[in-house]
Structure 1
Amino acid sequence: MTTAQSDAGEAAARVVTDALVASLTRGVEGGKRTACHCPFTGERLAELPEATPEDVAAAFDRARAAQPAWAARPVRERARVALRFHDLLLRRQSEVLDLVQLETGKSRLSAHEEVQSVAMAARHYGRTAPGRLRARRHLGAIPLLTQVREIRHPHGVVGHIAPWNYPLELTAGDVLPALLAGNAVVMKPDTETALTALWARRLLIEAGLPEDVLTVVLGEGPVVGPLLVEYADFVTFTGSTRTGREVAQRAAARLIGSSLELGGKNALLVLRDADLERAAEGAVRACFSSSGQLCVSVERLLVDASVADDFLARFVARVEALRLGSALDYGVDMGSLSSAAQLATVTQHVEDAVALGATVLTGGRHRPDLGPYFHEPTVLADVAPPMRVCAEETFGPVVAVRRFATEEEAVAWANDTRFGLNASVWSRDARRARRIAARLRCGTVNINEGYAAAYGSVRAPMGGMGDSGLGRRHGAEGLLKYTEPQTVARQRLLPLGPSHGLDDRRYTALISRSLRAMKSLGVR
């Protein structure tokens, strides 16, 4: 593995100036102070406002006061804000790429994935929201006599809790459909990546969003998070399954809806007829983008035993050629882990696997010479339960390899997890790959790609099964979950009850004949 050295401290001082922090935190509630840090160096990056419980309440008050006027605007006008944001984001992407790298430690190319994802979401919802939110006519109980309209109303104020690993995509990308649906949003990004979230908010305001329609509160998750659930009309959360359960329980106690994207232990299946060169290349992206700190990234490689040696030789060679470093520029393949906690988890999982008999094919080492939280991309073979890497989410640059003998065994192993977020199948036979994909219990399956094909197809829903969460982002579901449907039915001419001299017996006989007739005529 090669390395690309840079002076991350100088880069941080150049990018994160006092003027920038003052601009981004203008209007952010916070009676106390907190700080974010740079994973490349471990040093403090900026000092930020930290919300007290009173600050959180004030943020919701502001959002609730601003929401009715925002919802009263025509949907097309709200959508134009998203489309202007799209253009501004692409025009000024270098600004946010620097912030994403400095706050997460990821490579420039991995940071650009976030720009791509948010731009696609802004374009998609900017173009489709007016059609999906318009009032719709439905056939009523009695055709011609019953007229029915379905109207979509915003929930009100959405509480959005975002994690640290994708600070642009999981803030701006998720709040865009909530805003276009007519909601206001109070957002709690992770403090360690708050500058990126605040930059996105400032850009949305520049694109025409009223300032109080999107407010930000910062603070410790166990303190601020429950308050968002307490005050919100709908809650979205991306993070760990353990915390997701707590969010769901609190939301259920208040009878409000929630949408949760949680953990994953995603499998990539290499079938015997796969193009092994393409599969090895794609598996490297699937396993090590963003240093493996991605809910949909691959942590388990299931390889047909008949091609395993050939595939692994290609795959390991590509992993060993990865360039590690902290440069705020393209040319580095993998950056740092985000924190000491993430490094500890990765180290523990590797050490546990080796102690129980796993073989390190490449990597396996902490690299403090590059920065405090760097860890080499690691490939483990001879992996089997009860090793922690078999069942627990590592959320780092570690992938475990198992060889399967039959398709049935591959499917069984892929499904042998409490999670169900993403999977990948590699084969030259599209029909066979689709058949296997349909048997995998997860929200998205990619054929001949790791995760980006499904995630980037924003017209289709994305989310998890099992312990990977509830609800979906993207597609129609990703917008309509932020609304409450209302049915308005108008009855004309005749009532839905005995009338015009009909007694109960003759009325029910007439209704029965009408029901049979409607079925015969194909009425839905």
Structure 2
Amino acid sequence: MTTRPASLTPEFLDSLVKRVPGSTGNTWKLTEVYTGDLLVELPQSSEADIVKASADARAAQEIWGSWSVKKRLGVMKKFHRLVIDNQMLITDLIQAESGKNRRMAFEESCDIPMGTSHYIKRAPKLLKDSKHAGPVPFLSNSTEVRRPKGVVAIIAPWNFPFATGVSDTIPALIAGNAVLLKPDNKTALSPLFGIQLLEEAGIPPGLVQVICGEGPDVGGPMLANANYVMFTGSTATGRVIGELAGKNLIGACLELGGKNPMLVLEDANIDEAVHAALFGSFGNSGQICMHIERLYIHDSIYDEFRDKFVAETQKLNVSAAYDFLPDMGSLVSVDHKDRVVSHVEDAKAKGAKVLTGGNARPDLGPAFFEPTILEGVTKDMLAGATETFGPVVGLYRFKTEDEGIALANDTDYGLNASVWSKDLNHAGEVARRIDSGNVNINDILATAYASKGTPSGGLKQSGVGARHGDQGLLKYTDAQNIGVLKKQVMGPQGKQTYDAYAKQTQTSLKIMRKTRLR
């Protein structure tokens, strides 16, 4: 029997959900995924709650936004320490609400210190006023000032509730904004604790407001009261968020779905690729935006790869435990498990072969599903064309490199890809031909995603904009242009005719180009 961590007392959990405004009187039964037992009743927010929360956030933002960048970063340094000091408690929360194995929950908790540390280092330069040349050499200049947007709406998914919800909040705060954060109802506890740690670190009370409710109920009011939105979730919902952002004339960054390929070239190290494919396919029970659902192997090594991959998959420890032993945990909910089952059953009915797995495991917990490898998946199957988002991967052969690249690109999505080869230069050439916002060479996803200095986003229907990198902070700002003219020289001077002024301007433009002044 699974024993819940002693840290998750009713008193502690109740203290977290008290942060959520809930005048509706309605609650969401937030359960422990491994057992289905109730953890806490989560209040649901009304439109009036959201209007008040946004007003309170704006009031706090006036204080926070007036602080120097150095002072704001001082708070973030304290927050960084608090996260590390509380990392095992955060891991307990993530596990209980999401059902993932403890290794994955711990690794999720590491994302916040890494991202926070990067922006602590980078923000002073990015947010500093920068002076540029004006139109008239020596007599004019222009200063670029980075101003906070105001209130940023952040809508976080259930698969990485702490990492996405809090890591997207951090650069928004560093830029001087307030935040309206909406976690998924199923996984609201770890983000709520993250906000508690931010307040302990010293952000003004009310600067980050947590809104809970179903997307159709709270999404519209949130965006109507925000100046920018960061959304992570499905492509279908992303379209709705994009429409709402356009209606409210606010900016949006959207990280959406994927149907991510792994391309194993003829000269790849098979054992290393097999080992990586285990995580790529079954990490977090396949509930990673960047995980692998389509695995393309060169025909010359296909049989060896397939047999080793199946054998290693069958060795995985799939179980419910609050320790580091399991390789894979549960899916997030019974509803999601049923979705994964429907994809596998559809594939089987249309001729796909199950090499291993393929079954729900109610003996382990209500939402467990076996790691599953399919062969013979085609695009007329649910598992062949749409995102399954579970521990299910299809294996495919390719004979030529061009064929493999074409197959990898044969999707409406473009979030992540993986290329395997002993020749790194050649693998880099292949990577540049893949239509994906992230491509990892001899890795699945961590190398690209954890490179916090480089933007990470999707192509095609996998999103708009990016998190991380300079863009991941600057998107939460507006650029203000302050132009200064020291002497009134723009236009005819004295009795000069416009004809003479025009000729003078043409000469000046030629000289400036020749001397590279402009």
The one-letter amino acid paired with 1:30 is G
Counterpart Cα distance in 2 of 1:401 and 1:86 = 41
- Structure 1 residue 464: Cα displacement: 0.5
- Which consecutive residues of structure 2, in runs of 5 or more, have no partner in the other structure? none
Equivalences for residues 147-162 of structure 1 within 5 A: 147-162=141-156
1:185 alignment partner, SS class:
strand
Counterpart position of 1:21: 13
1:326 alignment partner, SS class:
coil
2:378 alignment partner, SS class:
coil
Confirm or deny: 8 A CA contact 1:16 1:46 kept in the other structure: no
Counterpart Cα distance in 2 of 1:25 and 1:337 = 23
Counterpart Cα distance in 1 of 2:406 and 2:491 = 55
Choose which of 264, 276, 279 in structure 2 pairs with 1:270: 264
Counterpart position of 1:186: 180
CA deviations 1:31-81 (Å, max 9, x no partner) are: 223221121112211112221111111111110111111001001111122
Confirm or deny: 8 A CA contact 2:101 2:320 kept in the other structure: yes
- Structure 1 residue 268: Cα displacement: 0.4
Confirm or deny: 8 A CA contact 1:269 1:410 kept in the other structure: yes
CA deviations 1:351-407 (Å, max 9, x no partner) are: 111111111111111111100110010011122221221110000000011101111
Equivalences for residues 164-243 of structure 1 within 5 A: 164-243=158-237
What TM-score do the two structures reach when normalised by structure 1? 0.97
The one-letter amino acid paired with 2:10 is D
- Structure 1 residue 26: Cα displacement: 3.8
Counterpart position of 1:3: none
1:212 alignment partner, SS class:
coil
Choose which of 138, 142, 153 in structure 2 pairs with 1:144: 138
Counterpart Cα distance in 1 of 2:82 and 2:501 = 63
- Structure 1 residue 18: Cα displacement: 2.3
RMSD of Structure 2 on Structure 1 (CA): 1.2
Equivalences for residues 254-403 of structure 1 within 5 A: 254-403=248-397
Counterpart Cα distance in 1 of 2:325 and 2:314 = 15
Choose which of 476, 479, 485 in structure 2 pairs with 1:482: 476
Confirm or deny: 8 A CA contact 1:82 1:125 kept in the other structure: no
Counterpart Cα distance in 1 of 2:185 and 2:199 = 21
Counterpart position of 1:4: none
1:435 alignment partner, SS class:
helix
Which segment is superposed worse, 409-418 or 34-43? 34-43
C-alpha distance 27-336 of structure 1, shift in aligned 2 (>3 A): closer
- Structure 1 residue 499: Cα displacement: 1.3
1:48 alignment partner, SS class:
strand
Equivalences for residues 423-502 of structure 1 within 5 A: 423-502=417-496
Confirm or deny: 8 A CA contact 1:79 1:127 kept in the other structure: no
CA deviations 1:184-223 (Å, max 9, x no partner) are: 0011111111111101100111111112110111111110
- Where in structure 1 do 4 or more consecutive aligned residues deviate above 3 Å? none
Counterpart position of 1:34: 28
1:313 alignment partner, SS class:
helix
Confirm or deny: 8 A CA contact 1:411 1:440 kept in the other structure: yes
- Structure 1 residue 273: Cα displacement: 0.5
Confirm or deny: 8 A CA contact 2:437 2:458 kept in the other structure: yes
Counterpart Cα distance in 1 of 2:234 and 2:86 = 32
- Structure 1 residue 494: Cα displacement: 3.7
- Which consecutive residues of structure 1, in runs of 5 or more, have no partner in the other structure? 1-6
- Structure 1 residue 28: Cα displacement: 2.6
- Structure 1 residue 316: Cα displacement: 1.5
CA deviations 1:437-485 (Å, max 9, x no partner) are: 1111111000000000000000000011111111100000000000000
Counterpart Cα distance in 2 of 1:369 and 1:441 = 41
Counterpart position of 2:245: 251
Choose which of 67, 85, 90 in structure 2 pairs with 1:91: 85
Counterpart Cα distance in 1 of 2:201 and 2:233 = 29
What TM-score do the two structures reach when normalised by structure 2? 0.98
2:164 alignment partner, SS class:
coil
